[in-house]
Amino acid sequence: MKNALYFQSGGVTAVIGATAAALIKSHRNASEGRLFAAEHGLSGLINNQLVDASALPESMRLALSQLPGGGLGSGRTLLASYADNPEQWHRVRDVLISHQIGTIYVNGGNGSMDTAAKLVELSDRFTLGLSVIGLPKTIDNDLEGTDTSPGFGSALKYLSVSLMEAARDHCAMATKPSVFILEVMGRHTGWLATCGAVARLPTQMASPLILFPEVMFDPERFVAAVQASFTKHNACVCVVSEGIRTADGQFYAQQNAVARYGHEQLGGAGFAVAQLLREKVSVKVHVAVPDYLQRAARHLASATDIEQAEAVATHAVQLAQEGQSGVMVNIVRDANEPYAWHCDSVRLADIANRERAFPLDWIDQCAYGVTADALTYLQPLIQGEPHQTWRDGLPEYPWVEWPRI
């Protein structure tokens, strides 16, 4: 009986533990083989840092389902092409053979799905007969081929709630015109920036001004919009994607020009916008950068997001049992009201390394907001509050002790 291997890759989410826990449960019910897991993604596979996930005690598996941050560890190592690094391919092959791996589950985003596609090539090159299944995960929601990606709904919920609370604070202190800026993740896509539209701010305040990477940032026009907002209330709220660009195509604030893992390390867009407003409008500006918080807030996760995170794992095992390979589990929306969805699959070759931008026709560029269609899409994804174990006033987040091989 062949064994299976699971690993997480890329930035983690508040619900990736739910996917891992559901995969372990589904594998136990469907297969007599063992389920191994690689610590810290592909690098753990290459370094033979494997644990026996199928032997994880049930109490620890249940705890894992409620943990943020990836209790298994993730990583940024990707599988290079065979021409660029044949030694890496041979090493991966040897480890897979030594542990009698027949199925690989890759839980990640765009780059991870490219690695999954390369693992299909690796299987063909060395005649391993692997079944390779991708499981979607990204708070950026930029994976092609799926209605949404587990992790996004919870990040959006956390940011929306945080913005509502911070706006109330900002409103209370705005005795004269001032600005609050929330900088959110999103190198090339503005899905998370939509928290500015999802959040319910007091009707007395102007709607948040949202800056999307998909729309060229015009400093002069933005300054005028901020000044106009002060005609309604002294408190102006803005949401800035880290990846906003100017007319020349450059990031408005680029912290580090060196690309690693194929992505730019960005940060500081909110502070750059704040400096612009201080110079042009002479107002007080506060900036908040949630950074890791937006992808780690399990205590405020979306129940819908958790349900989908578990469902993609269950469906992945089903696909493997059917002998499928070279596919990623996707989420298909059946209806908006009431919200209905199901899991299916798409070919890795069709979606790997492709980014899904926030639709331009969902952006109200005149008002720095979004359309009603965008809200219809977004609002079901943040619904529901899951059960969470608390102890002494804090969430219970134990360290997962994985059975060693």
Tens of pLDDT along the chain (405 residues) come to 699 999 999 999 999 999 999 999 999 999 889 999 999 999 999 999 999 999 999 999 999 999 998 899 999 999 999 999 999 999 999 999 999 999 999 999 999 999 999 999 999 999 999 999 999 999 999 999 999 999 999 999 999 999 999 999 999 999 999 999 999 999 899 999 999 999 999 999 999 999 999 999 999 999 999 999 999 999 999 999 999 999 999 999 874 344 443 444 556 899 999 999 999 999 999 999 999 999 999 999 999 999 999 999 999 999 999 999 999 999 999 999 999 999 999 999 999 989 999 999 999 999 999 999 999 999 999 999 998 999 999 999 999 999 998
Q: Which of 296, 320, 338 is the last residue of a domain?
A: 296
Cβ atoms of 149 and 141 within 8 Å: the answer is yes
- 107 plus 166 within the same structural domain: no
Domain encompassing residue 75: 3-138+298-354+383-395
Domain boundary among the residues 296, 330, 345 is at: 296
State how far the alpha carbon of 74 is from the alpha carbons of 36, 62, 229, in Å. 15, 20, 43
**Is the Cβ–Cβ distance between 152 and 14 less than 8 Å?**
no
Three-state DSSP at 298 gives helix
- Considering the domain architecture, whether residues 282 and 306 belong to the same structural domain is answered as no
With residue 284 as reference, give the H or E element that holds it. strand 284-288
- For residue 88, the SS3 value is helix
Instruction: List all residues 6 or more positions away from 16 whose beta carbon is below 8 Å from its beta carbon.
Output: 8, 69, 70, 74, 107, 137, 150, 151, 309
Task: Give the residue numbers annotated as catalytic, written as ranges.
Answer: 140
Identity at 383, one-letter amino acid code: Q
- Do 204 and 221 lie in a common domain? yes
Whether residue 133 is found in the same domain as residue 239: no
Structure tokens at 125: 């090159």
β strands within 306-353, DSSP E: 327-335, 340-347
Residue 389 lies in a domain: yes
In a domain, 106, yes or no: yes
| 177 shares its domain with 219 | yes
- Give the C-alpha separation, 182 to 5, whole Å: 39
Could you tell me if residue 365 is inside a domain? no
Our count of domains for the chain comes to 2
Q: If we measure between CA atoms, which residue out of 102, 98, 96 comes closest to residue 42?
A: 96
The CATH number of whichever domain residue 230 belongs to comes to 3.40.50.460
| Opening angle at CA 141, ends 140 and 147, nearest 5 | 175
What CATH number has the domain bearing residue 15?
3.40.50.450
Q: At what angle do helices 152-173 and 303-321 cross, to 10 degrees?
A: 170
Query: Is residue 335 located within the same domain as residue 250?
Result: no
**Within a domain: 265:** yes
